[in-house]
Amino acid sequence: MRATTPMVVRERDAAAMLGISTAALRRWRRERRGPAFVRMERCVGYRVGDLEAFVAGNTVRSSEGTKRQTSPRSEPVAKAK
C-alpha cells in the first residue's frame, strides 16, 4: 500500500505546517483572516491545498521594493522660538 498525503489535516498539523501556534490559527479563523477551513460537525480541518495557497498568496518578494513609511509621529518636531 502506498502512503498518501491526507486531503484534510487537523488543526494542530495545519499550525505546524505554517509554523505557528494553534492559538494563532484559531485567532486567524475567528478574525476571518487565515487560510480557508472546513468544518465537519464539531471538527475543524484544513485542506492541504488551501494551506499551500494561503502561503503562496502571502509570499512577499524582497525585489518588490516595498518601502517603509514613517508615521507623522516619528518626524522631528520643530521647536518654537
Any domain includes 74:
no
Judge whether 32 lies within some domain: yes
Please tell me the predicted confidence (pLDDT) of residue 1.
54
pLDDT at res. 39 = 95
The answer to whether 17 and 10 have CB atoms below 8 angstroms apart is no
Q: Which pLDDT belongs to residue 5?
A: 73
Contact criterion met (CB below 8 Å) for 16 and 46: no
Q: Tell me whether residue 68 is in a domain.
A: no
Other Cβ atoms closer than 10 A to 34: 21
Per-residue pLDDT tens, the chain, 81 aa: give them: 556 778 999 999 999 999 999 999 999 999 999 999 999 999 999 999 999 999 999 999 887 655 555 544 444 445 555
Residue 62 is predicted with a pLDDT of 83
The answer to whether 16 and 51 have CB atoms below 8 angstroms apart is no
pLDDT at position 65 is 57
The Cα–Cα gap between 16 and 78 comes to 50
Domains identified in the chain, total number: 1
